[in-house]
Structure 1
Amino acid sequence: MSSMKPIVVFLVHLAFTFATRCRLLEASCQAPSFTVEAACRAAAGTEYMYELCRDAMRDMSAPENQVSLYALVAAKRALASYGDTVQALAGMLRNASHQDERKAYMLCADRYRDSGDTMRGVADELNGCRFAGLGQRYRDGIAQLESCRDRLFKAMSSPLYAMNLLDRNKAILAYFVGRLLAGVDP
């Protein structure tokens, strides 16, 4: 039980930090407020994207929040998904048996690094309530993921392809939610 104490303390601290940051973000940004339902309906053009949005916002407990908070949560969820893929990609790269496969995975590792940097920049801008120019940054991150997808599609069939597609969809969702903010270019 004593080995669990540091983990519990860390998790409580993490939850407090996230909640405090969210309250600060909500208080500082002049953004419209929506329910999760309304934000996801407004952002999503398909039932799939709506369900992806609802899943991304699953931990939102307040009945209504500023769109800037939803945009930040969507960006953070995309980043978490990227992290899972990068971890799987490292194992695939170690076990790659063909030169084409290795090259494809190396390109994807580079693109994921770039896309992660781009989405972290988006999250920083959202956290600072700076929305101008974010549309292009979202699109850059999506394009970086798509270049990985294109290489995988040309090179071989890989379990990374499905993971990359999900990551791309989460990045697109983050962009769609971000576009609900005034100042984010379409």
Structure 2
Amino acid sequence: MTTFVLSVLVSLATSFIAGDACNDVPSMTWGDACLNPETLRNGPDTAEVTVYARIAARLAKLKYESTIAAMDQTLAGGGSSLPGGEREAVGQCKDLYVGARGRMAGVADQLSGCDFTRARQDYLDAVSGITSCQSRLRSFKGSLPAMVAADLDLTMVAYDLGALIVGR
């Protein structure tokens, strides 16, 4: 993880803890909050689950932005040499990622406001978008499939944390 992302996580965790707690949301340790210790390594020792869910949602959004940039580079740099099906698949993935990024940003905002009315569907839509992109890139050569697979893992961590609050 880059130093920038780690500093963002520390900053986010600190600001979330200072905020008001949401009603009826359990607390947990950071070790319990994450399947992959790298994802939330700088989270607080114990906090309301929404803290971890927000951190994961915001980190997913940042990762999506990085992957979108890589897709833009692929389309601009090698786009003309890509076979038509691959160019179309990358373009469709980019659209799916833009949607997923908006959904995860929405989730983070909703969790910040203790408003969980749309969060469950937004999580599901983000998972669906990244999963659909992964299917489109199955035969694609290059680094994009690995990036999408890593993004899907992070998306599932975010979804699983959110499910503790909003259900599946």
Q: Same fold (TM over 0.5)?
A: yes
TM-score category of the 2 structures, normalised to the smaller one: 0.7 to 0.9
Query: How far apart, CA to CA, are the structure 2 residues paired with 1:172 and 1:81?
Result: 13
Aligned equivalent of 2:135:
150
How high is the TM-score relative to the length of structure 1? 0.76
Query: How far apart, CA to CA, are the structure 2 residues paired with 1:142 and 1:92?
Result: 23
Aligned equivalent of 2:57:
75
Query: How far apart, CA to CA, are the structure 2 residues paired with 1:78 and 1:99?
Result: 29
Query: How far apart, CA to CA, are the structure 1 residues paired with 2:12 and 2:32?
Result: 23
Contact 1:76 1:123 in 2 (8 A): yes
Structure 1 residue identity aligned to 2:71: L
Aligned equivalent of 1:185:
167
Deviation at 1:15, TM superposition (A): 8.6
Structure 1 residue identity aligned to 2:47: N
Q: Structure 1, residues 105-155: CA drift from partner, whole Å, max 9, x if none?
A: 1111111101101111111111111123422221111111111111112x5
Residues 19 and 37 of structure 1: is their aligned pair in 2 closer, same or farther, counting only changes over 3 Å? closer
Contact 2:57 2:108 in 1 (8 A): yes
Query: How far apart, CA to CA, are the structure 2 residues paired with 1:18 and 1:28?
Result: 15
Residue 60 of structure 2 corresponds to residue 66 of structure 1: no
Q: Which runs of 5+ in 2 are unaligned?
A: 1-7
Aligned equivalent of 1:90:
72
Residue 88 of structure 2 corresponds to residue 103 of structure 1: yes
Structure 1 residue identity aligned to 2:17: R
Greater Rg by CA: 1
| RMSD across aligned positions (CA) | 2.1
Q: Which runs of 5+ in 1 are unaligned?
A: 1-13, 41-49
